[in-house]
Structure 1
Amino acid sequence: MSRYMLLCLSLLLPWSEVALAEPDVQFSGFGNIGVIHNDSRVLGFHRDYTMEASGHGWSANVDSMMGLQLNARFNEHFDAMVQVLLKDRVSDDLEDALEWAFVRYQPNEQWSFRAGRLGLDLYMLSEYKDVSYAYLWARPVPEFYSVISSTTRYNGLDITYSRHLKDYMLEARLAYGNNNEELAGADQTVNIELDAITSLTLSLSSHDWLWRLAFARSDISGNNPEADALLSVIESVPVTLWPASRSIAADIRYQNRISEYYAAGARYDSGNWLIQSELGYTDTNWQPLQPYISGYISVGRRVEDFTFYGVYAGVRHTEKIPEVEPPLILPFLPPEQQMQLSALHQGAELAYRSSRQQQHTISVGIRWDFAEDFALKLQWDHVNIGHQGSGLWVRKEPEAQDERVQLFSINLSFIF
């Protein structure tokens, strides 16, 4: 557990004697046993960047996971929660299995203060994105959730204010903290650090409706050995041979960048019909990840124990790929050196487009609640990936054309 997290928890020590008096402890859990078939031989699928990807054929690693949760209520004002999530992560660090760990203080019905390991409240599934039983689909919609849900866990604190407005409930949540993650990018594993994470969420709910607005800002840095080696070589090229080499390396280097995220969502649940949609926009000053927009709309119809649903989702960048100024072509350079410069230029171009996302997906599925606390889900996804737009996947080789991928999923979800 990080020193920052311990500091947050220590803020509550003055009330420890009261908080630790005869706690009411409850143990619960959730899980998902899933298999998925991927018909692509060049693209590996993962539900988010914290998990390993699955290549061609059948795999049980993408959606299978188990969560164990401990809730303790100390009195009417203090409670705590710890959640451990076991799944096929990129990172082998035991601490990364600790998904939630916080202490909460509620002085009254309107105010709530939490400190510890938390999740940013930026989307509809913020509190239960890994609890497959709690939502309709086989997994959170990748076009919208893959990137943002991979970086929303943090160590810090949040403050929530809620108030009844006749038939509605208004809630506002402000959060602050930091974190670091090991993520599986499209071509290589990346270690990222998120500092000064700040987010604000507003939600308004009624019996049938929920509306949400969210904003987040963070300072982000990242590194991996392959990219660092490429940048070192680019920076070593004399400006007489490649005038733009220093600025290109500065654009690619993932240090002290700023990312801002905006999102809006709405959900309608009448009992028979379930309609949900979210739209997000991410803006960064890091050239390889230009601003992009993502979203989806999902429609479900409940018929007794069955729910039939369809989803349309998409993600695309809002700007063109920046041009990478090439090295100078000098006739006196040996052919071997000219080829090396050309290879560096190609490497820089690849870095500029390596994280680009351009795809849309049509999904249909059925959920069967065949027993209490158990649900069986079948889902088919038809994914259309644009040229140079496979940033949500793990690639065996640079893409050369548009891709079409079929995914078929069978999931058994449960809670206990």
Structure 2
Amino acid sequence: MQQPIHSPARFPRLSCAAVLAAFACGAAASEGASASGPELSFSGFGSLGVAHASIRSADFTSSIMKYSGAGRSKRWSPHVDSRLGLQLDLAIDKQWSAVLQAVSEQRSDGAYKPVIEWANIKYQVTPDLSLRFGRIALPVFLAADYRKIGYAYPWVRPPVEMYNAIPLSNSDGIDASYRWNVGALKNVTQGFFGSTRKPLWDNASLAAHGIAGLSHTTSYRNLSMRASLLKADLSIDLARELFDGYRQFGAPGIALAERFDIDHQRVYAMSAGMNYDPGNWFVTGELGRIKSWSYLGDTYTAYASAGYRFGDLTPYLSYAMVDPDSVTSDPGLSPRGMPPQQAYIATVLNGYLNRLLSTIAVQSTFTAGARWDLQPNLALKVQYDRVRPQAGSRGSLVNVRDDYASDQTVHVASAVLDFVF
């Protein structure tokens, strides 16, 4: 199995093949392989969900990388949370192993064509030091190692305010993980380097090069804490025509393009989170900071969540928010003194720029839900979200119509059946 650097919250005790998230699984597979030759194992996970949103001028969705959601496109949408994942693990001996994971969910083009989420080779240098090469999960956020596995967390979906801040879940490159203990404190320090390219809408794409960072996890009894730092060189050609248009206006337009365009732009992301789970209840939360110096904005993100287990039933509450530390609108070029045709073009460009800046999320969400573990490896979840985009922002909504009005509450009802096998 792919070995994440910390276990998910306890929901409930899962088998090695089911959770895809315990160090002991990989160790057991390696020992078995050394005794009887290479060992191949197969596992999978999935979510069958439906979501309803009260809004009609935009779509609510779980990721900005999706094509559609609930609201404008469909009153009841299966695309928000549904996915299927399959995984192959190969343990060659005590040192060498490999993993291949494919996930099918709605993409930015609306298709469900499977994509390779993980594909890497692991070399266990020592019992405490390991190296991986290939496509690897980005170790950012608490649920980074299992964010696609709905069964591994209590909610219908991870808080979109936090996890949409970095919608990328993997990169192609290398990483090194080192385990070390200080008394009862168990530590894992991970360094990583890589790159990735993702398709977006309208034949646009996202390319991130020089993705590098550190992630550190400390565990003590029922408490787990994780902090991470990531930097990347980011390019997004989604608004290239807009900024090429600004550059035609000389120095003032070039200055605007340089200020907001994402063309080999340095981006930093920092996060810190904790999860405390003594068994009957849990409390978890994260803080994040994104700096981009572009139309993506500089943002603070945070959430807190708690729940209590009554046997197989776990009700929970959450609150999440994202708030920018940058402008969400700009006057753009002043058309004053321009010839009529140039003034018109400048006004149109300014309108597109401000529509782009409105994608900088300013939003809060209150969540109430419950998880019912029907049987081992199968859980039913229902959830209500009160989503409030603010300050002229569309928040995490997509497919926004021209008549969309910010500062209106969006009510979202969701149900999902999560399973692992």
Q: Structure 2-normalised TM-score?
A: 0.86
Tell me: CA distance 1:49–1:401, structure 2 relative to 1, closer, same or farther (3 Å): closer
Q: Is the 8 A contact 1:324 1:348 kept in 2?
A: no
Q: Is the 8 A contact 1:70 1:82 kept in 2?
A: yes
Match of residue 215 from structure 1: 229
Q: Is the 8 A contact 2:68 2:399 kept in 1?
A: no
Match of residue 10 from structure 2: none
Per-residue Cα deviation, 1:4-59 (whole angstroms, up to 9, x for no partner): xxxxxxxxxxxxxx99x931111111111111111110121221122222142101
Pairs within 5 Å for 1:29-108 = 29-56=44-71, 57-91=75-109, 97-108=115-126
**Partner AA of 1:170 in structure 2:** N
Tell me: CA distance 1:328–1:49, structure 2 relative to 1, closer, same or farther (3 Å): closer
1:23 and 2:23 equivalent?
A: no
Tell me: CA distance 1:96–1:252, structure 2 relative to 1, closer, same or farther (3 Å): farther
Match of residue 370 from structure 2: 366
Question: Which shifted more, 358-367 or 53-62?
Answer: 53-62
Moved over 4 A (4+): 91-96
**Partner AA of 1:251 in structure 2:** R
Question: Which shifted more, 254-263 or 399-408?
Answer: 399-408
Match of residue 178 from structure 1: 195
Pairs within 5 Å for 1:5-404 = 22-56=37-71, 57-91=75-109, 97-148=115-166, 150-183=167-200, 190-224=204-238, 227-237=239-249, 239=250, 244-286=252-294, 288-321=295-328, 323-330=330-337, 333-334=339-340, 336-351=341-356, 353-398=357-402, 399-404=404-409
What is the Cα deviation at residue 319 of structure 1? 2.8
* Alpha-carbon distance between aligned partners in 1 of 2:174 and 2:346, rounded to the nearest angstrom: 48
Tell me: CA distance 1:177–1:320, structure 2 relative to 1, closer, same or farther (3 Å): same
Aligned with 1:171: secondary structure?
A: strand
Aligned with 1:147: secondary structure?
A: coil
What is the Cα deviation at residue 140 of structure 1? 1.0
Match of residue 415 from structure 2: 410
Per-residue Cα deviation, 1:130-165 (whole angstroms, up to 9, x for no partner): 1111110001110101231x2231100100000132
* Alpha-carbon distance between aligned partners in 2 of 1:164 and 1:338, rounded to the nearest angstrom: 65
**Partner AA of 1:125 in structure 2:** A
Q: Is the 8 A contact 1:275 1:300 kept in 2?
A: yes
* Alpha-carbon distance between aligned partners in 1 of 2:54 and 2:354, rounded to the nearest angstrom: 29
Match of residue 26 from structure 2: none
* Alpha-carbon distance between aligned partners in 1 of 2:109 and 2:40, rounded to the nearest angstrom: 30
Backbone CA RMSD of aligned residues: 2.2
* Alpha-carbon distance between aligned partners in 1 of 2:200 and 2:79, rounded to the nearest angstrom: 16
Aligned with 1:248: secondary structure?
A: helix
**Partner AA of 1:143 in structure 2:** E
* Alpha-carbon distance between aligned partners in 1 of 2:105 and 2:332, rounded to the nearest angstrom: 43
Per-residue Cα deviation, 1:249-303 (whole angstroms, up to 9, x for no partner): 22232201000011110110010011000000001121x1221000100001011
* Alpha-carbon distance between aligned partners in 1 of 2:392 and 2:205, rounded to the nearest angstrom: 23
Tell me: CA distance 1:389–1:322, structure 2 relative to 1, closer, same or farther (3 Å): closer
Per-residue Cα deviation, 1:307-336 (whole angstroms, up to 9, x for no partner): 1100000001023346434334228x34x5
Identity of aligned residues (%): 27
What is the Cα deviation at residue 77 of structure 1? 1.1
* Alpha-carbon distance between aligned partners in 2 of 1:341 and 1:245, rounded to the nearest angstrom: 9
Tell me: CA distance 1:339–1:205, structure 2 relative to 1, closer, same or farther (3 Å): same
Tell me: CA distance 1:234–1:211, structure 2 relative to 1, closer, same or farther (3 Å): same
Tell me: CA distance 1:197–1:94, structure 2 relative to 1, closer, same or farther (3 Å): farther
Gaps of 5+ in 2: 1-32
Number of equivalent positions: 384
Aligned with 2:391: secondary structure?
A: strand
Tell me: CA distance 1:394–1:322, structure 2 relative to 1, closer, same or farther (3 Å): closer
